[in-house]
Structures are given as C-alpha cells and as structure tokens.
Amino acid sequence: MEYNYSSPKLTARTIREGMYGAFASQAIEAGELVAVWGGRVVQWEEYKSLPVIEQMHSIQVEEGLYLVTPGMGDTADLINHSCSPNCGLRGQIALVALRDIPAGEEVTFDYAMCDGSPYDEFDCDCGSIHCRGRVTGQDWRLPELWARYAGYFSPYLQRRIDQIRGS
C-alpha cells in the first residue's frame, strides 16, 4: 500500500552505506510539487511507543500530532534534511521546489520548517554554508530562518512565529 505521492521526477539512491536519499531524475521547476506525505496521525504519547523505523518516517503536522508512514514507503520517505534546502512545505504535508532543481541533485528540506518539538534531533553534517551543526526542535525559532523560509513553514509553526512577532 502506498501512503505517499512522489513526483515521477524523483528516484531513490544510496548516499552511503545504510543511508538513502531522493534525487531529481529530471529537472524540477521552482514551485513544482515534489511529494505529499500520507499515513496516520498519532498523538505524542503513541508516537513515543512506535518502532524507530516509523518514528524516522514521520513529520510533525500540528501541536502534539505526528503523521507517520508505516515502515519504508517510497521515495518521498527518503527526502533528507539540509540546512540549505531546495524544497519547502506547502501546508502540512506537501513539499514543493523552492528553486529549480537540476537532474542529479538530491532533494532536501529543512526540518525546521515542520519540527517544533524535540522528537527528531541530531547532529547535522549537510555541509552547507548555512549548516547549524545540530538540528533541534527549536530551530524554527531562529529569525534568520523566518526570513529565509517565509511562506514555507508548517501552519502550526507559522502561528507560533506570528505570535512571537506579535502579528
């Protein structure tokens, strides 16, 4: 059963042993839909008891709610983090290209666009000039990211940002 939509322009590739990524097999235009994640929505208490593989393939979609794709779904589940991403969120579960993505480039997004709790924190080695060194559930609070990703945060995080700004 497929839970996600992946653009036919995506292909899965091994990055290094045990790590995979989604890559553009054809050029993707800015604004183009790249993926839509599906699955089931669980509350934090249930999320914590899920198998690690399911936790790894999840996205926070609202305060205390997480969308979980059971097991390894498809190429959409292989889209990795980058502190200099080429994709961003449209709504809670859709991923669109922030810029033109040439064939052969890895498709990425910044988890700060959706993570607002400490459920998926890790040391980052994305290698970008913007690399934060560590990805945390508090990264969405960084004003430089508000400017860089304006319009591409999950709606619940955008509400938090607006509240901090006094908007």
What does the pLDDT profile of the chain (167 residues) look like in tens digits?
A: 678 999 999 999 998 887 899 999 999 999 999 999 999 999 999 999 998 888 888 999 999 999 998 766 689 999 999 999 999 999 999 999 999 999 999 999 999 999 998 878 899 999 999 999 999 999 999 999 999 999 999 999 999 999 999 87
Partners of residue 5 on adjacent β-strands: 36
pTM for this predicted structure: 0.93
Say if domain 5-165 classifies as CATH 2.170.270.10. yes
Closest CA to 112 of 76, 142, 86, 75: 142
Domain boundaries, the chain: 5-165
Distance CA 45, CA 65 (A): 10
DSSP-assigned beta bridge partners for residue 71: none
> What DSSP letter does each residue of the chain carry, written as one string?
----EE-TTEEEEEEETTEEEEEESS-B-TT-EEEE--SEEEEHHHHHTS-HHHHHTEEEEETTEEEE--S--SGGGGPEE-SS-SEEEETTTEEEESS-B-TTPBPEE-GGGT--STTS-EE-----TT--SEE-TTGGG-HHHHHHTTT-S-HHHHHHHHHHHT-
Structure tokens at 64: 């205390």
